Amino acid sequence: MTKVIAAVLAAALVAGTAIAQEGIKRTPLQKLDVPDTGYETVMGLAEVAPSASSGRHSHPGI
């Protein structure tokens, strides 16, 4: 039973992620490595349709 519940939760997570991405177009413009840190800086363009929703998310930063 536990395996079934885990499988259902995993499927819901994947489906929820796919739904949240509709109406959002991401275009990477530039990627740069930050020296001596192991971090990468990504500059991009995000186009969001008027009816789209990005869902719950965060931007943790450094």
Closest CA to 49 of 19, 24, 16, 31: 24
Question: Do 33 and 61 touch, CB atoms closer than 8 A?
Answer: no
The domain segmentation of the chain, as residue ranges, is 24-50
Instruction: Report yes or no on whether pTM surpasses 0.85.
Output: no
pLDDT by 10s per residue, the chain, length 62: 555 555 555 565 555 544 446 888 999 999 999 999 989 999 999 998 998 887 888 888 76
